[in-house]
Amino acid sequence: VQLVESGGGLVQAGGSLRLSCAASGITFSVYNMGWYRQAPGRQRELVASITSGCTPNYADSVKGRFTISRDNAKNTLYLQMNSLKPEDTAVYYCNAYYAGVKYWGKGTLVTVSS
């Protein structure tokens, strides 16, 4: 199983980035998927999730700014991040969850400068 994140980078406050997570080795369509983030010195937190039926859920801190989506034909999860803030700076991780089994990617760094 591999979850490979991409799309991170350095962006100014107010800017946008789109993260991607390419999944392999799993039946992607049955998995609930999520994006988590971990800032230096802080615990990993849920940013957004999407069920196998495409129902999204967002942390209050990103509602209205971030959009999670999935393309089951491409086995890919996305996170569109708009109006980025310095406090969004973190390593962003892709997560796949089904029937008690969780998989994690290695993360992609997002840095938002003020």
- What local confidence, expressed as pLDDT, does residue 95 receive? 98
Q: Mind spelling out the 3-state secondary structure of the chain?
A: CEEEEECCEEEECCCCEEEEEEEECCCHHHCEEEEEEECCCCCCEEEEEECCCCCEEECCCCCCCEEEEEECCCCEEEEEECCCCHHHCEEEEEEEEECCEEEECCCEEEEEEC
Q: What digits encode the pLDDT tens for the residues 31-45?
A: 999 999 999 999 999
Q: What digits encode the pLDDT tens for the residues 8-57?
A: 999 999 999 999 999 999 999 999 999 999 999 999 999 999 999 999 99
- The C-alpha atoms of residue 80 and residue 89 are separated, in whole angstroms, by 15
Confidence class for position 65, pLDDT limits 50, 70, 90: very high
**pLDDT (mean) for 58-70:** 98
Q: What digits encode the pLDDT tens for the residues 68-91?
A: 999 999 999 999 999 999 999 999
Q: For 9, left (φ over 0), alpha (ψ -120 to 50), or beta?
A: left
- What local confidence, expressed as pLDDT, does residue 9 receive? 98
